[in-house]
Chain A
Amino acid sequence: MSGDLEKFIQQLLRNSEELKLVLEAEAVPRPTDSDSSSSSSSSPSSSESETDSDSKVPGAITRLKQRRKDAKINRKRVLAVVAHIDPYGEEQGCVFIFKSHMKASTAGNTIVQHTVEHAFPILSGFTIAMAQAKRNTIDLTSASMETLKQPQSAEFKLTLHPGHDLSQRSIALTTQDSPHLKPFLTEVKRLKDISVVNSEPGATPSYPWILPYTSKSKPSLLSAEPQDLRHVHRQISELLSEASAGSLGDDAFDTSIIREFWIRSQVEQLYNSGSQTSLKLRIGTFNVNGKLPSQDLSAWVRGPSTGANKYIPPLKELSPFSLEGIATDSSGEGTALPFGKQPDISADSNASSVTDLPVAAAFAGKYDDPDLIVLGFQELDLSASALIYSAETTREDAWLTAALAGLGEKAVEYEKLASKQLVGMLMVVLVKRTMKDCFKRIQTNSVGAGIMGLMGNKGAVALRLAFEPRPTRDARHPRGAVLTFVNAHLAAFDEMYEKRNADFHDISRRLVFDAGAPAPGAPSPQAGGAPPNAPLHAFQSDALFWLGDLNYRIELSDSDARALLADDAVDNLPLLLQYDQLNLARRTDKAFANFIEHRILHFPSYRFNSGALSDNLGYDLKRKPAWTDRVLYIPSVAVRVQQQTYQCHKEITMSDHRPVSATFELRVPTVDGEKLDAFAHGLWKEVSHIEDAEDIPRVSVEPAAIDLGKIEYHREAQQSVLVRNTGRVPFAFRFVPLAPGEPICPRWLRVKPVAGLVRPGEHKEIILTTTVDNPVAAKLNVGDPHLEATLVLHVARGNDSFVVVSGDYARTCFATSMQRLVRMPGPMRMTGVRRLLPDEQAATAPKEVMRLISWLMSYGSDVDNLFLAPGDLAQVDEIREALDTGTELPVPDSNSRAALALSVASCLLQLLDALPEPLVPPHLHQACAETTDRESAFELLNGLPGASVNVWISLTSLLHFLCQQDARMPGALRVRRLAARFAPVIFRDESALSKPISPVGKRKFIMHFVS
Chain B
Amino acid sequence: MSKQFQFKLVLLGESAVGKSSLVLRFVKDQFDDYRESTIGAAFLTQTVALEDGTSVKFEIWDTAGQERYKSSAPMYYRNANCAVVVYDITQSASLEKARSWIRELQRQADPSIIIALCGNKSDLAVRRQVSQEEAKKYAEEEGLMWGETSAKSGEGVNEIFTEIAKKLPKTAPPSARAGGARTGAARTGVDLNKQATATGGQNEPCSC
Contact = CB atoms under 8 A, between A and B. Distances in A.
Nearest to B41: A800
A187 B208 contact: no
Interface in B10-40: 10, 38-40
Contact of A246 (B38, B76, B182, B186): B76
A693 B206 CA distance: 8
A85 B177 contact: yes
B4 to A, nearest CB: 8
Contacts of A11: 199, 202-203
Given A246-B75, A799-B42, A10 B185 contact: yes
Interface in A80-105: 81, 83, 85, 89, 91, 103-105
Interface residues of A, number: 58
A3 B188 contact: yes
A694 interface: yes
Contact of A187 (B42, B184, B200): B184
B186 A3 contact: yes
Contacts of B177: 18, 83, 85, 91
Chain B binding surface SS class: loop
Contact of A103 (B75, B185, B206): B206
Contacts of B41: 245-246, 799-800
Contacts of A715: none
Interface in B69-97: 69, 71-72, 75-79
A72 B133 CA distance: 64
Interface in A13-58: 15, 18-22, 42
Contacts of A799: 38, 40-43
B134 interface: no
B170 interface: no
Contacts of A244: 75
A793 B43 CA distance: 13
Interface in B173-197: 175-180, 182-188
B175 A248 contact: no
B72 A802 contact: yes
A19 B184 contact: yes
A704 B39 contact: yes
Nearest to B10: A246
B182 A7 contact: no
B204 interface: yes
A111 B69 contact: no
Interface residues of B, number: 45
Contact of A802 (B10, B40, B178, B184): B40
Given A106-B204, A113-B202, A799-B43, A7 B72 contact: no
A89 B202 CA distance: 31
Nearest to A104: B207
B42 A103 contact: no
Contact of B184 (A12, A20, A693, A694): A20
B205 A790 contact: no
A247 interface: yes
A705 B75 CA distance: 19
Contacts of A194: 179
B169 to A, nearest CB: 19
A4 B187 CA distance: 9
Nearest to B36: A700
Contacts of B38: 799
Interface in B30-73: 38-43, 45, 59, 61, 64, 68-69, 71-72
A91 B201 CA distance: 32
B113 to A, nearest CB: 14
Given A85-B177, A245-B75, A187 B204 contact: no
Contacts of B59: 15, 248
B187 A106 contact: no
A796 B39 CA distance: 16
A739 interface: yes
A783 interface: no
A20 B78 contact: no
Contact of A105 (B78, B186, B187, B204): B204
A836 interface: no
Nearest to A804: B68
Nearest to A90: B178
B187 A6 contact: yes
A85 B6 CA distance: 14
A7 B203 contact: no
B176 A693 contact: no
A685 interface: yes
Contacts of B205: 106, 689, 693-694
A85 B180 CA distance: 11
Given A793-B40, A799-B41, A800-B40, A111 B183 contact: no
A798 interface: yes
A111 B200 contact: yes
Interface string A378-396: 0000000000000000000
Interface centre among B43, B175, B178, B199 (most CB of A within 10 A): B43
Nearest 6 A/B pairs, CB to CB: A21-B184, A111-B201, A246-B76, A245-B75, A801-B40, A6-B185
Interface of B: 6, 10, 38-43, 45, 59, 61, 64, 68-69, 71-72, 75-79, 175-180, 182-188, 198-208
Given A693-B205, A801-B39, 6 more contacts: A20-B182, A20-B183, A693-B203, A800-B41, A802-B39, A802-B40
Interface of A: 2-4, 6-12, 15, 18-22, 42, 81, 83, 85, 89, 91, 103-106, 111-113, 183, 186-187, 190, 194, 244-248, 685, 689, 692-694, 701, 704-705, 738-739, 790, 792-793, 798-802, 804
